[in-house]
């Protein structure tokens, strides 16, 4: 490779030479000191934050924690004990973290009667309390109720922020949307670390201690069902639900995704999700789609059900119908 | 709620709250099934008059909270209430029905809903899995004289976003 | 040869990098000054969480990913020098191709930084590593992106490192060691930007992105903006260093943009036609971007500004009379870079989220913390490139060579 000596950029150099030639030794020294201080203090601040975190033994346990699917029973016991310990230290509340397994022969699905929903948002409220969601900054709500005008199912025409002094309003109907636990979920496809997956009983879960917070699943979900902990969750200690599941409502750390889990800490124990029990009009139906005698199967057989955004082929397990 | 909290713990308290919300819907006939009509017999041996008018002498005085908003042209009380037996209801073919057979009465006109109710598709079933508590009867959610579901106040809307047209103070543009 | 000589090479490179004379030191200090507020802002973000940004559940990616997307394109554009240099043996390009590859290295470095600051749990970044963590390959396109980006970094670092070291030693490089890697890197450059485009275009729930034309648009805008950046970089190098960049290199870059910029605008036109002529409900995002939606119009001035800049740049690039004038061409380059940066960054990422899948309109503009962090990362990348280029120029001009005793 041949190179030739080239005259330097003389103009700029001359100017700089002139500017700096002046006797400003002390000022430039102070300037340099100031810049160094600024440049060094911020990294020191970050370093302090990092070292504080490193001194916390719980942090190290989380750091080396394996993916949920690769944990042994002892690993899990250790992890649950750590979570219970952390909750006790942070909130002063005794909780129990369980690891409910899917029941064989069960696949959960949900049906919602849109003729009965009156937009009371009791389901939203019950879900927030049941699942220990952050109340503000950020406010996380797994269920979104849209107030829809008649004649359309286009969510863009719906209103999420409706005030309800008296619901239902005459010319509107109400469309609650939450995670559909799709059979072909776009969210589990895109997660780079497989922190989210579909369990044997159909529930799509998140391993909150494995999630790296890249939010790709949130971009992929067509139903706005995934929620991100932009900050440490704000939960009043007296409202914490102590019956917790590792994959469902244990208190999540900052910087990870969360979503509706069909209350698996309840439903895998034979109960219904909190939203189902809170609905004042009985619009919500939950059950085992593999059981021909369940309400779910009867609804799918007798009612004319539909799903949202069917053309995306996500195969949602959340069915809507009008009565 | 706080009472429940102290004695039974949070889980029960949440259930209490859910049930209390549900109970809000119970109207003046929110009683146990077997007691629903018993109080009629405290004053009536029979229902002497068939009437469609609430202006009948004494009715308003003795039943001050009564409201009738069922059917466009009410056909009179004895359409449903057995004239000869105040603590029974009566079907269209004259059969006397006990209070816990109320769904059969309502089902005479509300057929599809009755069938749904029988399969568990209408109304709400609480309880664990396949074991259910007793299926709620019609009047346990609906006031039979004013059955349309109560208008209620919705829980507050979600927090507004930081940026854009839907922040607090903006009108909706939909 | 041997490890000792290599270690000495590194030591000498580092000392040479920081002994650049007054101008260069001023530049380095200026960049450090720009980085400092970024560190301060990141400290906040690391401790408080991403709530210091203006991202939300509805707009889950913002300035960080927008800059990331643009910089992947810059990295891919290095191939525009690699192909003429190594495949067509274009001598003037051969002399400076290393500087282009080092630009790719710096761009990938910035990309990785942008990903790190965007993650909710950067302390868990090792979860994406194949054996230590759990990489969802091949299902997740993001897993592919992790592999191709780091692979590209490694490829370019290998080529530039090897060639520089050989030049430093005064030896002829062994073609077997670097030529296969060069050919792989040519294909790999195309793949990095295609995979990044696939991140977006594979999502059915985001109709604004779910279009086959997205990957071609990404590549073409990279090949239109890339030469512009290379022109500015090389003009700077020509002016402030001993390195001579042959005018033929600039001619080549001019020829490239004269083709790629019109294609870039054409593909944009295709996208606009499909959106606005079809006029389905999916047009909402494009409507928001260009004309505002239900009163929300935060991005309108930016996109129209970008299109104006792109158009002026296009006119400059295709008109021979204007293109020939180096000063005018430089202005065109600046306009093209800014225009494409806006169009690809804010003009592509943000509208994909507006309206949300359930029709919610939540807008976005970077917060103070985000802006400071972005500036800091750009400065850091600039610093890395400045240091790398200085060392490379030193080696290429013979200023830095092995001292034989």
The helix or strand, by DSSP H or E, that contains position A243, with its residue range, turns out to be strand A243-245
For residues A134 and A192, state if they share a domain.
yes
Distance of CA C168 to the CA centre of its chain: 28
For residues A248 and A200, state if they share a domain.
yes
- Segment C105-132 mean pLDDT: 93
* Superfamily of domain C3-396 in the CATH hierarchy: Formate dehydrogenase/DMSO reductase domain (1.20.1630.10)
In tens, the pLDDT along A189-245 reads: 999 999 999 999 999 999 999 999 999 999 999 999 999 999 999 999 999 999 999
For residues A178 and A255, state if they share a domain.
yes
Q: Does C46 touch chain A (CB under 8 A)?
A: yes
C92 C-beta neighbours (distance < 10 Å), count: 18
Spatial distance between the Cα atoms of C209 and C219, rounded to a whole number of angstroms? 15
- Chain C residue with the nearest C-alpha to that of A177: C358
- Nearest CA among A117, A112, A175 for reference residue A146: A175
Q: Are C336 and C313 in contact, with CB atoms under 8 Å apart?
A: yes
More confident residue, B57 or A284: A284
Lookup: tokens for C210: 């779910």
8 Å CB contact of A160 and B160: no
For chain A positions 170-229, those within 8 Å of chain B (CB to CB) are: none
- Segment A89-94 mean pLDDT: 92
Name the pLDDT band for A77 (thresholds 50, 70, 90): very high
Name the pLDDT band for C150 (thresholds 50, 70, 90): very high
Question: Do the interacting molecules here have an ipTM over 0.85?
Answer: yes
| Residue numbers in A near B153 (CB within 8 A) | 120, 164-167
**Domain membership flag for residue A63:** yes
- The pLDDT of residue A16 is above 70: no
Do strands A172-177 and A144-149 pair parallel, antiparallel, or not at all (unpaired)? antiparallel
- Segment C60-88 mean pLDDT: 94
B79 torsion bin: left (phi>0), alpha (psi -120 to 50), beta (else): alpha
Lookup: tokens for C232: 């500015």
Spatial distance between the Cα atoms of B157 and A159, rounded to a whole number of angstroms? 10
**How distant is the Cα of B116 from the closest Cα of chain C, in angstroms?**
31
In tens, the pLDDT along C240-249 reads: 888 889 999 9
| Residue numbers in C near B162 (CB within 8 A) | 54, 56
- The pLDDT of residue A50 is above 70: no
Spatial distance between the Cα atoms of B101 and C109, rounded to a whole number of angstroms? 76
**How distant is the Cα of C13 from the closest Cα of chain A, in angstroms?**
19
Q: Does B158 touch chain A (CB under 8 A)?
A: yes
> pTM score, two decimals?
0.86
For chain C positions 291-350, those within 8 Å of chain A (CB to CB) are: none
The mean pLDDT value of chain A amounts to 86
- The pLDDT of residue A24 is above 50: no
- The pLDDT of residue C73 is above 70: yes
A235 C-beta neighbours (distance < 10 Å), count: 23
* Residues forming beta bridges with residue B96, ordered by sequence position: B90
Choose, out of B157, B158, B162, the residue to mutate when testing the contact with C (most C CBs < 10 Å): B162
Q: Which residues are CB-contacts of C251 (< 8 A; sequence separation ≥ 6)? A: none
| Residue C160, CA atoms < 13 Å, CB-side half-sphere | 26
- Chain B residue with the nearest C-alpha to that of A287: B129
**How distant is the Cα of B67 from the closest Cα of chain A, in angstroms?**
20
Q: Does A51 touch chain C (CB under 8 A)?
A: no
- Segment B75-86 mean pLDDT: 80
- Segment A66-77 mean pLDDT: 90
Instruction: Write the residue in B10, B21, B128 that is nearest to A241 by C-beta.
Output: B10
Name the pLDDT band for B88 (thresholds 50, 70, 90): confident
For residues A125 and A89, state if they share a domain.
no
Distance of CA C240 to the CA centre of its chain: 23
- The pLDDT of residue B82 is above 90: no
Instruction: Write the residue in A53, A221, A232 that is nearest to C49 by C-beta.
Output: A232
The mean pLDDT value of chain C amounts to 93
- The pLDDT of residue C178 is above 80: yes
For residues A179 and A82, state if they share a domain.
no
**How distant is the Cα of A175 from the closest Cα of chain B, in angstroms?**
14
Instruction: Write the residue in B21, B120, B156 that is nearest to A295 by C-beta.
Output: B120
Q: What are phi and psi of A55, to 5 degrees?
A: -75, -20
For residues A123 and A77, state if they share a domain.
no
Instruction: Write the residue in A49, A192, A257 that is nearest to C135 by C-beta.
Output: A192
SS (H, E, C) chain C: CCHHHHHHHHHHHHHHHCCCHHHHHHHHHHHHHHHHHHHHHHHHHHHHCHHHCCCCCCCCCCHHHHHHHHHHHHHHCCHHHHHHHHHCCCHHHHHHHHHHHHHHHHHHHHHHHHHHHHCCCHHHHHHHCCCCCCCCCCCCHHHHHHHHHHHHHHHHHHHHHHHHHHHHHCCCCCHHHHHHHHHHHHHHHHHHHHHHHHHHHCCCCCCCCCCCCHHHHHHHHHHHHHHHHHHHHHHHHHHHCCCCCCHHHHHHHHHHHHHHHHHHHHHHHHHHHHHHHHCCHHHHHHHHHHHCECCECCCHHHHHHHHHHHHHHHHHHHCHHHHHCHHHHHHHHHHHHHHHHHHHCCCCCHHHHCCCCCCCCCCCCCCHHHHHHHHHHHHHHHHHHHHHHHHHHHHHCCCCCCCCC
More confident residue, A288 or A57: A288
Q: Does B149 touch chain A (CB under 8 A)?
A: yes
**Domain membership flag for residue A61:** yes
Output the DSSP codes for B97-120: E-GGGHHHHHTTT-HHHHHHHHHT
pLDDT of res. A41: 58
| Residue numbers in A near C358 (CB within 8 A) | 144, 146, 155, 158, 160, 177, 223-224
In tens, the pLDDT along C300-325 reads: 999 999 999 999 999 999 999 999 99
Q: Does A141 touch chain B (CB under 8 A)?
A: yes
8 Å CB contact of B165 and C364: no
Q: Which residues are CB-contacts of C62 (< 8 A; sequence separation ≥ 6)? A: C53, C54, C55, C349, C350, C364, C366, C370
Question: Which residue among A248, A269, A290 closes a domain?
Answer: A269
Spatial distance between the Cα atoms of C6 and C21, rounded to a whole number of angstroms? 25
| Residue numbers in C near B174 (CB within 8 A) | 294
- The pLDDT of residue B28 is above 50: no
The helix or strand, by DSSP H or E, that contains position A176, with its residue range, turns out to be strand A172-177
B32 C-beta neighbours (distance < 10 Å), count: 9
For residues A124 and A199, state if they share a domain.
yes
Spatial distance between the Cα atoms of B133 and C149, rounded to a whole number of angstroms? 59
Q: At what angle do helices C326-344 and C247-278 cross, to 10 degrees?
A: 40
For residues A203 and A244, state if they share a domain.
yes
Spatial distance between the Cα atoms of C168 and C403, rounded to a whole number of angstroms? 9
| Greatest mean pLDDT range, B60-69, C113-122, C160-169 | C113-122
Spatial distance between the Cα atoms of A70 and A314, rounded to a whole number of angstroms? 27
Q: Are A319 and A110 in contact, with CB atoms under 8 Å apart?
A: yes
For residues A145 and A60, state if they share a domain.
no
Q: At what angle do helices C21-48 and A10-21 cross, to 10 degrees?
A: 80
Q: At what angle do helices C91-118 and C63-76 cross, to 10 degrees?
A: 160
For residues A186 and A60, state if they share a domain.
no
Q: Token match 């991403």: residue?
A: C50
Judged by average pLDDT, the poorest of B120-134, B152-166, C38-52 is B120-134
In tens, the pLDDT along A280-314 reads: 888 999 999 999 988 899 999 999 999 999 999 99
8 Å CB contact of B153 and A121: no
pLDDT of res. C101: 94
Q: Token match 């850091």: residue?
A: C380
- Overall domain count for chain A: 2
Name the pLDDT band for A186 (thresholds 50, 70, 90): very high
Name the pLDDT band for A1 (thresholds 50, 70, 90): very low
8 Å CB contact of A278 and B18: yes
- The pLDDT of residue B173 is above 70: no
pLDDT of res. A320: 96
- The pLDDT of residue B126 is above 70: no
Segments making up each domain of chain C, as ranges: 3-396
Q: Are A280 and A115 in contact, with CB atoms under 8 Å apart?
A: no
Q: Which residues are CB-contacts of C271 (< 8 A; sequence separation ≥ 6)? A: C211, C213, C217, C286
8 Å CB contact of A124 and B160: no
Q: Does A229 touch chain C (CB under 8 A)?
A: yes
What is the span of the domain harbouring residue A78? 55-98
pLDDT of res. C3: 87
Q: What percent of chain A has pLDDT over 70?
A: 82
Instruction: Write the residue in C56, C295, C298 that is nearest to B162 by C-beta.
Output: C56
Give A238's DSSP letter. G
Rounded-to-5 percentages of helix, strand, coil across chain A: 35, 15, 50
In tens, the pLDDT along C253-263 reads: 999 999 999 99
pLDDT of res. B31: 45
**CA-based end-to-end distance of chain A:** 81
Do strands A204-206 and B89-90 pair parallel, antiparallel, or not at all (unpaired)? unpaired
For residues A242 and A148, state if they share a domain.
yes
pLDDT of res. B16: 46
Q: What are phi and psi of A119, to 5 degrees?
A: 70, 25
Three-class DSSP category at A31: helix
């Amino acid at each position: 490779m041949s190179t030739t000596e080239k005259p330097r950029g003389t103009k700029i150099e001359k100017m700089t030479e002139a500017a700096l030639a002046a006797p400003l030794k002390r000022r430039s020294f102070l300037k340099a000191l100031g810049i160094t201080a600024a440049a060094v203090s911020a990294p020191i601040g970050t370093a302090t934050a990092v070292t504080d975190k490193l001194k916390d033994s719980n942090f190290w346990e989380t750091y080396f924690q394996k993916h949920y699917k690769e944990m042994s029973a002892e690993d899990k016991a250790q992890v649950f004990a750590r979570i219970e310990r952390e909750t006790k230290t942070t909130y002063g509340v005794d909780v129990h973290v369980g690891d409910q397994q899917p029941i064989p022969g069960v696949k959960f699905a949900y049906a919602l009667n849109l003729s009965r929903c009156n937009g009371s948002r009791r389901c939203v409220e019950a879900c927030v309390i049941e699942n220990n969601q952050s109340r503000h900054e950020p406010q996380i709500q797994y269920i979104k109720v849209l107030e829809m005008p008649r004649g359309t199912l286009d969510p863009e025409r719906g209103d999420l922020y409706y005030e309800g002094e008296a619901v239902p309003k005459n010319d509107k109907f109400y469309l609650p949307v939450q995670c559909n636990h799709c059979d072909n979920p776009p969210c589990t496809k895109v997660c780079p670390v497989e922190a989210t997956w579909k369990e044997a009983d159909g529930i799509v879960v998140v391993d909150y201690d494995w999630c790296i917070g890249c939010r790709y699943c949130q971009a992929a979900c067509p139903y706005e069902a995934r929620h991100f902990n932009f900050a440490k969750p704000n939960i009043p200690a007296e409202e914490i639900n102590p019956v917790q599941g590792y994959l469902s409502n244990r208190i999540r750390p900052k910087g990870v995704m969360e979503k509706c889990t069909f209350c698996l800490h309840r439903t895998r124990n034979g109960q219904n999700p909190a939203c189902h029990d809170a609905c004042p009009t009985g619009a919500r139906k939950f059950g085992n789609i593999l059981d021909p005698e369940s309400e779910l199967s009867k609804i799918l057989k007798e009612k004319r059900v539909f799903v949202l955004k069917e053309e995306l082929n996500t195969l949602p397990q959340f069915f809507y119908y009008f009565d | 709620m706080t009472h429940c909290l102290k004695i039974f713990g949070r889980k029960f308290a949440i259930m209490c709250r859910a049930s209390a919300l549900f109970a809000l819907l119970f109207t003046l006939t929110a009683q146990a099934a077997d007691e629903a009509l018993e109080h009629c017999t405290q004053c009536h041996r029979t229902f002497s008059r068939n009437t469609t008018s609430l202006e009948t002498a004494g009715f308003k005085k003795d039943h001050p909270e009564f409201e009738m908003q069922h059917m466009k042209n009410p056909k009179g009380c004895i359409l449903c209430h057995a004239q000869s037996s105040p603590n029974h209801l009566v079907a269209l073919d004259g059969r006397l029905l006990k209070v816990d057979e109320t769904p059969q009465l309502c089902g005479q006109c509300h057929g599809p809903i009755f069938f749904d109710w029988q399969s568990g598709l209408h109304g709400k079933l609480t309880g664990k899995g396949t074991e259910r508590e007793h299926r709620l009867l019609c009047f346990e959610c609906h006031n039979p004289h004013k059955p349309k579901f109560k208008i209620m106040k919705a829980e507050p809307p979600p927090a507004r976003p930081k940026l854009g047209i839907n922040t607090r103070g903006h009108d909706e543009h939909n | 040869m041997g490890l000792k000589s290599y270690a000495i090479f590194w030591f000498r490179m580092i000392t040479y990098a920081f002994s650049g004379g007054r101008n260069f030191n001023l530049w380095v200090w200026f960049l450090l000054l720009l980085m400092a507020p970024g560190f301060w802002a990141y400290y906040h973000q690391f401790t408080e969480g991403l709530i210091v940004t203006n991202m939300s559940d509805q707009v889950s990616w913002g300035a960080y990913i927008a800059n990331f997307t643009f910089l992947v394109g810059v990295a891919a554009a290095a191939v525009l020098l690699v192909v003429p240099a190594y495949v067509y043996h274009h001598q003037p390009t051969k002399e400076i191709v290393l500087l282009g590859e080092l630009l790719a290295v710096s761009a990938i470095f910035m990309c990785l930084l942008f990903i790190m600051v965007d993650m909710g749990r950067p302390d868990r970044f090792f979860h994406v590593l194949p054996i230590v963590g759990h990489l969802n390959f091949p299902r997740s396109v993001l897993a592919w992106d992790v592999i191709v980006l780091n692979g590209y970094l490694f490829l370019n670092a290998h080529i530039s490192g090897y060639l520089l070291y050989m030049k430093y030693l005064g030896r002829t490089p062994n073609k077997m060691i670097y030529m296969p890697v060069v050919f792989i890197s040519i294909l790999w450059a195309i793949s990095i930007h295609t995979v990044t485009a696939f991140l977006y275009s594979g999502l059915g729930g985001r109709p604004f992105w779910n279009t086959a034309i997205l990957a071609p648009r990404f590549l073409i805008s990279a090949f239109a903006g890339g030469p512009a950046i290379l022109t500015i970089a090389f003009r700077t190098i020509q002016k402030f260093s001993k390195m001579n960049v042959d005018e033929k290199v600039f001619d080549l870059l001019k020829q490239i943009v004269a083709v790629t910029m019109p294609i870039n605008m054409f593909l944009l036109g295709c996208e606009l036609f499909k959106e606005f002529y079809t006029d389905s409900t999916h047009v909402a995002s494009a409507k928001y971007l260009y004309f505002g939606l239900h009163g929300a119009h935060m991005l309108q001035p930016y996109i129209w500004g970008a299109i104006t800049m792109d158009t002026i740049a296009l006119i400059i690039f295709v008109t021979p009379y204007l293109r020939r004038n180096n000063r005018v061409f430089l202005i065109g380059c600046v306009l093209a870079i800014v225009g494409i940066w806006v169009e690809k960054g804010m003009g592509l990422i943000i509208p994909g989220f507006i309206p949300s899948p359930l029709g919610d309109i939540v807008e976005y503009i970077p917060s103070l913390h985000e802006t400071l962090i972005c500036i800091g990362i750009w400065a850091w990348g600039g610093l890395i490139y400045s240091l790398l280029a200085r060392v490379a120029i030193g080696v290429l001009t013979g200023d830095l060579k092995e001292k034989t005793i």
